[in-house]
Structure 1
C-alpha cells in the first residue's frame, strides 16, 4: 500500500527490490491475498441449541468445501495456495450462547493473471451451492482490509490483494541487470521470490519494470535472528552499482 504512494510521487522507470535474494536475480513472485469468509447464524442459549443456528457448524461445512478446491499451478512460480490461518466465533467467550457469527481467514498465494474476481468466484460459487442446499446457511466472502498508522501520524489503508508478477528472462531490463551483475563478478541464478514483496505493486499493479536483488538468504527474512553477512552486503553494493550502470549505458 505504501508503494502506491511512492510510485505516484517518484514515478520510477525501473525498480530494484532490495529484499534478500542471496545476491541472485529475481524476476517474479507469487502474489498474496487475505480472504475473509463469514457465516451468520442465530443466537440461543446453549441449553436449547435447537432454537438457534450455530454459525460455527455452518463454517465447518464451508471450510470443508473450500478445502476441495483445485488451484492452478505455474511452471516457474509454483502452486497457487489457499490455506486457513485463523478462525473466530462470536460471542467469544461463548458463555452458554450458540454463536451467531463465525469468521475464518485464508491466506491465498496468487499466480500471474489472477484477479480479484477470479480469486473470489470459486468460493462465491460454493456459498451459492450451500445456500441452495440449506435454507439456514448464510455466508459471504471478501478480501480483508488493513489500516496502518505511519510514523508521521498519517494512516494508510487498503484491500489485502497484491498480485503476482513475472518477467521473461529475455526482457531487456532483466538482461541488462544480469549483464551488470556478471560484470561485477557475480554469477546470479535467475529465479523468483518465494514470498510476497512490494513488486506486487510496482510490477503487478503499476506495470513498472521490476527485478529483485539483495543480500542475505531468503529464509532468514523476518526471523528473530535475521542477519546479513558482510561479504553479501559488499557484493550487493557492487551489484546495485553495476545494474544501474548497465541500464543507463
Structure 2
C-alpha cells in the first residue's frame, strides 16, 4: 500500500513537472530572446521597430492560439492538439534561424507562438482531468511555482548564450527544448479515456465566448489584467535596447 501510494505521488509530481514545462515553453521563447533584440536588428540590418515587431507578433499569436486549443482539446482529446502545437513550435523554431529575411523571421515567430501556446492551455485542462477539486488547486499552485522560474531565469540564460554564440543559438536551444517536450508528452502523459469529449460545433464555441464577454465582472477583471500585462511588456520590449545599447550591458 505504501509503495503504491509513493508511486502515485511520484507519478503526480512527474506530471506536474511536465505540465510546468509545457506552460513555460512559450514564456521561454520571449524571455530568452529579449537580450538578442539588438543583435537581431543588426543581423537583418533593419530598424528597432521590426525587431520589436517580432516580439509583438508573438504575443498576438499567443493570445489568438489560446482561443483555439481549448475547444480543440475538448473535441479531439488533450494529446492530439498538443502534438500539433509542439510540432509546429519545433518547425518554427528551426525556421527562425534558416531564413535571412526579417519578414520571414516575423512570420515564423508568429507560428512559433501559435504552436507554443498549446501547452499553456492544455496543461490546465490536463490538471482538471487528473486531479480532484482540492488537489487541482494545489497542483495549479505547484505548477505555477515551477513554471514561474522560466521567465526569471530565461533572460539570464539568453544573455549567457549571446556572450559565447550568436542570437541563433537561442532558437537552436528552443528547438531542442521543443523536441524534449515532445518526447516527454509521448511517454509522460496518458490520455484520460473517462474525459467526455464534445462535438465539433464552431458556432457553439463562438456563442460561448460571446456570453463570457457579456459578463461585466469578467470584462473588468480581464481589462485590469490586460493593462497590467501591457505595462510589463511595454517595459520588457523597450528595456532590452536601453540596457544593451545605451548602458552597454
Which of the five TM-score ranges fits, normalised by the shorter chain?
A: under 0.3
Of Structure 1 and Structure 2, the greater helix share is in: 2
Of Structure 1 and Structure 2, the greater strand share is in: 1
